[in-house]
Amino acid sequence: MTTTVLAAGDDFVLPRLLRAALDDAVGAASTEVEVRELALPWPHVPFGDVAEVHEASGDEDQLIDALADAQVCVTQMAPLTRRVLEASPELRLFAVGRGGPVNANLEAATEHGVRVTFAPGRNATATAEYSIGLLLAAARRIPSTHAAVQRGEWPSSLYAYDAVGLELEGATVGLVGAGAIGGRVARILRAFGSTVLVHDPYADPEALDGVELVELDALLERSDVVSLHARLTEDTREMIDGAALARMRRGAVLVNCARGGLVDHTALADALRSGHLAGAGLDVFDVEPLPQDHPLRGAPGIVTTPHLAGASRAVAHRAADMVAEEVRRYLAGEAAAHLANPAVLR
């Protein structure tokens, strides 16, 4: 019996990358797997909500048509909604090449007997490296001084003692979260010669060699730089609020490449404008794209990038490889490596 697989790629994880990964995983010459391609418009068209799912690309009708008679879908952004599931009775596996399958209705998928898998850690290296780059950019004012030179200015006054930035060697850097990304950031910082503090109630101390595990308040009070790598939950939402920012050292720097909802952005803007914080580097925000009236627009010392920390060619290939491996496991009758809805197996 032939298994039909829909490779629903986009302009980052390309359909041809998904096909090539499937060929490698299940065999290019296999007559038992038929691969069908669909091109979704992200990132040239921003992702958004599609019916009840989030951060999705394309629409329900497009996916329903493409899934006709398909048992498997590999994707990054396609919307797996209740309506799509009801219209795709043969679908059995929906493999998402991202850290969390927010574009899939897990409850409805479980009801319809569809396994949903995801790809944790696919962008861990890219995001860790980007976090260090954003840290240096904010701490040393690299973007603003570049812009000044391009305007014909020469801001040598920034050599003044009260204006200069910090060195990572000898600095204390606090990491909130030490999972796949935070753990890599810790290793990079140790190579720089930083003292690394970590707050993570779920961390394995044996996996974090050379760092000190501390409570959040202690981390905020002792760190020259605070970098966020936590998941966004009801417990962590706006964990960096006005009170937390006030605990940070005067002249400290905040970096966030995790989730925008971890930070109270109005309080952060106030801390920057008052001079309490020397800078902040943010790749994620509470509202994306950033509205014209957002409080962080024009804030001093801010470095902002448009949610690009996880963007590298290696990430695209890794995502394709991880979903293709889930297809191989499914065809071989093996357990999924990363199953988002384990209740589907009951």
Which of the residues are catalytic?
259, 288, 307
Q: What is the 3-state secondary structure (H, E, C) of the chain?
A: CCEEEEEEECCCCCHHHHHHHHHHHHCCCCCCEEEEEEECCCCCCCCEEECCEEEECCCHHHHHHHCCCCCEEEECCCCECHHHHHCCCCCCEEEECCCCCCCECHHHHHHCCCEEECCCCCCHHHHHHHHHHHHHHHHCCHHHHHHHHHCCCCCHHHHCCCCCCCCCCCCEEEEECCCHHHHHHHHHHHHHCCEEEEECCCCCHHHCCCCEECCHHHHHHHCCEEEECCCCCCCCCCCECHHHHHHCCCCEEEEECCCHHHECHHHHHHHHHCCCEEEEEECCCCCCCCCCCCCCCCCCCEEECCCCCCCCHHHHHHHHHHHHHHHHHHHCCCCCCCECCHHHHC
